[in-house]
């Protein structure tokens, strides 16, 4: 019993720290938007990164390592710099310092800081700060989901024809992949659904599912850091997480479906043309 209490206390302390870090990171993003952004490319000319992404991740990493020196870290820019992307049983922070980097570069007003925490490979809490909306989404396993302290609840809609579905085009520009992405969108649009949306950041799309604004969000091509925090928030708001083929969510698979209920999830799955990106935890030489 003492160990359970100890673990819970660490998680509460870690979550409070994550919220404070997300807010500080959001200030850095807002400040950087007032200045020229240095744009660099990663896997392609449309997979962007900026010094702000790197500075924000450095702020979070250094602060976490100081306060929780035994904890592990998976961060988008650390992995881009060659750190392994492997989730172990060790308490692990999973961070996207600037989710919606392309939006950030263009000044398109949806940019989020996403911080998740896992122990024994189980997600324990998620924090997503939509820093241009000043919306702090938080959720801890078993304790509910909130936006700026207000409880969140997914939509109760079970009719796909009365739904809005979110997705993104992603950053893969290979024609055969783009064909699958558009074919899936055509299938879903023609069900028909009320509409399709995407704000340009996975974490924010997931928070919109948790808020009941959209019934589901799916995407193939995301990374674990894009969706880890949002997964806790959707789940604690009464939603569910799956792989796009109907299997259980596999955080490293680069595939996600977040939905308000099983009825909507199963209807969407029938329309998705699945493909398998290289996993986040694939050996580095892959």
- In the list 124, 215, 226, 280, the residue contacting ligand LIP (rule: CB under 6 A) is 226
Residue 100 found at the interface with ligand LIP (CB under 6 A): yes
CB nearer to ligand LIP: pick between 146 and 217:
217
Token pair of 107 as six digits? 């000044």
Structure tokens at 176: 């055969």
Q: 183: part of which helix (H) or strand (E)? A: helix 175-189
**What SS3 state is found at 40?**
strand
Q: Which of 85, 131, 222, 233 binds ligand LIP (CB under 6 A)?
A: 222
Q: Does 202 bind ligand LIP (CB under 6 A)?
A: yes
DSSP assigned state of 243: -
166: left (phi over 0), alpha (psi -120 to 50) or beta: beta
219 binds ligand LIP (CB under 6 A): yes
The secondary element (H helix, E strand) that includes residue 92 is strand 92-99
Q: What sign does the CA torsion over 221, 53, 22, 86 have? A: positive
Q: How many residues does the chain have?
A: 286
Using the contact rule CB under 6 A, the part of the chain among 56-64, 95-103, 233-241, 242-250 near ligand LIP is: 95-103
Residues 157-186 that bind ligand LIP (CB under 6 A): 168, 170-171
Q: Identify the CA nearest to 152 among candidates 215, 96, 235, 259.
A: 235
For residue 138, give the H/E element and its range: strand 135-140
Q: Shortest Cβ distance from residue 4 to ligand LIP (Å)?
A: 34
How far lies 99's CA from each of 7, 8, 10, 84, 227, in Å?
Answer: 29, 28, 26, 20, 10
- Of 119 and 185, CB closest to ligand LIP: 185
How many binding residues for ligand LIP (CB under 6 A)? 13
Residue 18 or 119: which CB sits closer to ligand LIP?
A: 18
96 annotated binding-site participant: yes
By beta-carbon proximity to ligand LIP, the closer residue of 11 and 96 is 96
Of 63-92, binders to ligand LIP (CB under 6 A) are 76
Which one, 173 or 270, has the nearer CB to ligand LIP? 173
Q: Does 271 bind ligand LIP (CB under 6 A)?
A: no
Contacts of residue 194, defined as CB under 8 A and 6 or more positions apart, other chains included, come to 161, 162, 163, 164
Shorter beta-carbon distance to ligand LIP: residue 163 or 205: 205
- Binding-site ranges for ligand LIP (CB under 6 A): 76, 96, 99-101, 168, 170-171, 201-202, 219, 222, 226
Annotated binding site for Mg(2+): 76, 96, 99, 226
């Amino acid at each position: 019993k003492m160990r359970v209490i100890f673990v819970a206390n660490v998680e509460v302390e870690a979550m409070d720290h994550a919220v404070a870090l997300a807010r500080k990171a959001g200030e850095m993003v807002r400040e950087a938007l007032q200045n020229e952004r240095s744009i660099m490319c990663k896997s392609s000319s449309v997979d962007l990164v900026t010094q702000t992404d790197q500075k924000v991740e450095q702020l979070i990493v250094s602060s976490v390592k100081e306060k929780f020196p035994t904890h592990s870290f998976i961060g988008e820019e650390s992995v881009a710099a060659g750190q392994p992307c492997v989730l172990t049983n060790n308490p692990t922070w999973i961070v996207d310092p600037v989710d919606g980097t392309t939006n950030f570069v263009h000044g398109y007003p949806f940019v989020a800081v996403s911080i998740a925490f896992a122990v024994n490979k189980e997600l324990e809490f998620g924090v997503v700060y939509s820093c241009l909306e000043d919306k702090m989404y938080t959720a801890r396993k078993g304790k509910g989901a909130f936006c700026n302290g207000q409880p969140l609840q997914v939509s109760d809609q079970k009719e796909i024809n009365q739904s809005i579905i979110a997705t993104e085009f992603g950053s893969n520009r290979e024609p055969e992949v783009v064909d699958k992405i558009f074919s899936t969108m055509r299938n879903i649009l023609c069900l028909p659904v009320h509409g399709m949306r995407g704000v340009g950041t996975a974490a924010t799309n997931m928070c919109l599912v948790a808020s009941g604004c959209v019934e589901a969000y799916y995407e193939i091509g995301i990374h674990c850091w894009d969706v880890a925090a949002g997964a806790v928030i959707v789940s604690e708001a009464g939603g569910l997480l799956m792989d796009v083929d109907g299997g259980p969510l596999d955080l490293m698979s680069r595939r996600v479906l977040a939905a308000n209920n099983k009825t909507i999830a199963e209807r969407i799955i029938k329309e998705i043309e699945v493909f398998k990106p290289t996993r986040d935890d694939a050996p580095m030489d892959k």
